[in-house]
Amino acid sequence: MSRQTLAAGVGRVEITPPLTAPHAGWGAQLHELPDGVDQELLATVLVVSDGLETVAFCELELVIVSRAESDAIRSAVAAELSIEPAQVRVCVSHNHAGPPPSAWNWTAWGEAALAGYYALLPAQVAGAAREAKLALRPARIGWGRGESRVAVNRRETAPDGRTVTGVNQRGPTDPEVLVVRLDGIDGVPIAAIVGYTMHPTFLGPTNRLISPDWPGHMRAVFEQVTGAPCLFAQGATGDVGPGPKGFSDDLRAVHGLGAQVGCEAARVWLNLDLPARTYRHQRVWESGAPLGKWSSEPVAEGMPSVRGRAVSADLPLKTQIPVETARTDVDAAQARLDRLRDTGAPANEIEAATFATKRANMTLFRSTTYSGMSAAPVEIHLLQVGPIVFAGVEGEPFSELGKRVKRESPFDATWFGGYTGGWAGYVATAAEFPRGGYEVETSPFAETAADVLVAATLSALHDLANEEGRGR
């Protein structure tokens, strides 16, 4: 195959689960099944080719897919496109208002529906990839950056001194809004990718509707303004949340939050020229006032590269409690929750028992996955589309990690985030370990893991840059 021209196409499929499947997965929620749908959940696939290599960017409006589920989706998409799995990026928005992760169905409600739902995802996403493949057409690409300050750091110190998941107005965030624009050479939009760093946890335990949370509403507003199908790239949002209005069931507010990010992304998109142009003063045009008339000419375009690569980094682990101890704790917590439900106990007691059951199941998951290990392999996936490189990892890295990777990357445009290729837990900065709190306490990773992850990601980016310099 010889390099000819950039080509891109997009496909989309609805992935809203049935109302008979369990909902969300908040430890404090009192319901098991959803009552309805705020907005449908989508999976969107962007396929891009430079004539030498073809890649696929698959984004799902879900909270988590496991490594096995991600691999199944990658394999199905790769088979449809006749490419290697490493050339397929599978990422989720980390939306907390859809179905719970398949591994965390601790409610015992709707198990068959949930299992069937996740089993169907590879075929559904592969279908969207086929639609994108059939829609491939010559394309141009551009990118830009904006800024939104709606996100806040969520590592709050509560009045009792505990570190809780709330609002820390002085903590670090990442306000960058990355916008990638792909148009056909006829100027008709093909797709856009929008990156922002904020947990989709606006809709909390009292929300009973299936929803894509704020990223879905960002997408809807962006698409309404630009006419371009939008994919979302979540950032390093382990310690960043939606602010003081969050953890609610206020649909109007979550729509407004998404709209703010969507409007900023649309502003950046509308300000991009494809192809890029340079402007210069042409002449003074005498009119009622002397008018400074400017002209423009397109910037010479090189041939954009398209590449997908995957590497692995061994992240150091904490010591986990024995699996049998964790399983005993789960059995005890579940028995107490069942007893309270059967006897019609007060809602506050059921809520506390629900929380304890979820935490026990999370601990069992970590023990089962990591017991006896000193380090665990975590995949780092790189997807280059022209001048932009998306670096994604399985975990939930803190925002400082993302800013460091973007700052030190050899590429001018780099996006770094989690929820790509599976899920492995929080990756907190070493400085946050003394404070404890949910993100630190539920993470399987040791305090040195953050530096290891950043170093491995930067090494992979430099290898990719060197590969580009040598040609293929």
Residue 159 above 80 pLDDT? Answer: yes
How do residues 287-305 score in pLDDT, each as one tens digit? 999 999 999 999 987 788 9
**pLDDT of amino acid 98:** 97
Per the domain annotation, does 279 fall within a domain? no
Indicate whether 265 and 334 sit together in one domain. Answer: no
| Averaged pLDDT score across all residues of the chain | 93
Contact 179, 146 (CB under 8 A): yes
Residue 1 above 50 pLDDT? Answer: no
Indicate whether 253 and 343 sit together in one domain. Answer: no
Indicate whether 152 and 46 sit together in one domain. Answer: yes
C-alpha dihedral sign at 212, 243, 159, 426: positive
Indicate whether 267 and 327 sit together in one domain. Answer: no
Least confident segment among 95-99, 180-184, 202-206, 366-370: 366-370
Mean pLDDT of 342-356: 80
Indicate whether 228 and 116 sit together in one domain. Answer: yes
Residue where a domain terminates, one of 370, 391, 406: 370
How do residues 246-270 score in pLDDT, each as one tens digit? 999 999 999 999 999 999 999 999 9
Higher-scoring residue by pLDDT: 70, 28? 70
Residue 339 above 60 pLDDT? Answer: yes
**pLDDT of amino acid 25:** 83
Residue 125 above 80 pLDDT? Answer: yes
Per the domain annotation, does 255 fall within a domain? yes
The alpha carbon of residue 356 and the mean position of all alpha carbons in its chain are separated, in whole angstroms, by 27
Residue from 165, 148, 147, 146 nearest 157 by CA? 165
Indicate whether 203 and 340 sit together in one domain. Answer: no
Indicate whether 268 and 327 sit together in one domain. Answer: no
**pLDDT of amino acid 365:** 80
Mean pLDDT of 35-57: 97
Residue 107 above 60 pLDDT? Answer: no
Per the domain annotation, does 138 fall within a domain? yes
Residue 273 confidence class, pLDDT cut points 50, 70, 90: very high
Per the domain annotation, does 381 fall within a domain? no
Residue 118 above 60 pLDDT? Answer: yes
**pLDDT of amino acid 141:** 96
Per the domain annotation, does 254 fall within a domain? yes
**pLDDT of amino acid 2:** 42
Mean pLDDT of 383-412: 97
Domains of the chain: total: 2
Residue 389 CA to residue 383 CA, distance in Å, equals 6
Residue 131 above 80 pLDDT? Answer: yes
Indicate whether 205 and 270 sit together in one domain. Answer: yes
Per the domain annotation, does 68 fall within a domain? yes
Residue where a domain terminates, one of 251, 274, 297: 274
Per the domain annotation, does 63 fall within a domain? yes
Range of the domain at 347: 323-370
Mean pLDDT of 177-197: 97
Higher-scoring residue by pLDDT: 351, 125? 125
Residue 225 above 70 pLDDT? Answer: yes
Residue 4 confidence class, pLDDT cut points 50, 70, 90: low
Indicate whether 31 and 140 sit together in one domain. Answer: yes
Indicate whether 118 and 181 sit together in one domain. Answer: yes
Please tell me the number of Cα atoms within 13 Å of 279 on its side-chain side.
4
Mean pLDDT of 141-165: 97
Residue where a domain terminates, one of 370, 402, 426: 370
Mean pLDDT of 119-135: 98
Per the domain annotation, does 86 fall within a domain? yes
Residue 378 above 70 pLDDT? Answer: yes
Residue 110 confidence class, pLDDT cut points 50, 70, 90: confident
Residue 469 confidence class, pLDDT cut points 50, 70, 90: low
**pLDDT of amino acid 472:** 43
Indicate whether 106 and 169 sit together in one domain. Answer: yes
Per residue, the 3-state secondary structure of the chain, as one string, reads CCCCCCEEEEEEEECCCCCCCCCCCCCCCCCCCCCEECCCCEEEEEEEECCCCEEEEEEECCCCCCHHHHHHHHHHHHHHHCCCHHHEEEEECCCCCCCCCHHHCCCCCCHHHHHHHHHHHHHHHHHHHHHHHHCCEEEEEEEEEEECCCCEEEEEECCCCCEEEEEECCCCCCCEEEEEEEEECCCCEEEEEEEECCCCCCECCCCCEECCHHHHHHHHHHHHHHCCCEEEEECCCCCEECCCCCCECCHHHHHHHHHHHHHHHHHHHHCCCCCCEEEEEEEEECCCCCEEEEEEEECCCCCCCEEEEEEEEEEEECCCCCHHHHHHHHHHHHHHHHHHHHCCCCHHHHHHHHHHHHHHHHHHHHHHHHCCCCEEEEEEEEEEECCEEEEEECCEECHHHHHHHHHHCCCCEEEEECCECCCCCEECCHHHHHHCCHHHHCCCECCCHHHHHHHHHHHHHHHHHHHHHHCC
Indicate whether 93 and 231 sit together in one domain. Answer: yes
Mean pLDDT of 356-375: 82
Residue 156 CA to residue 240 CA, distance in Å, equals 11
**pLDDT of amino acid 106:** 58
Mean pLDDT of 107-121: 88
Least confident segment among 139-148, 271-280, 337-346, 406-415: 337-346
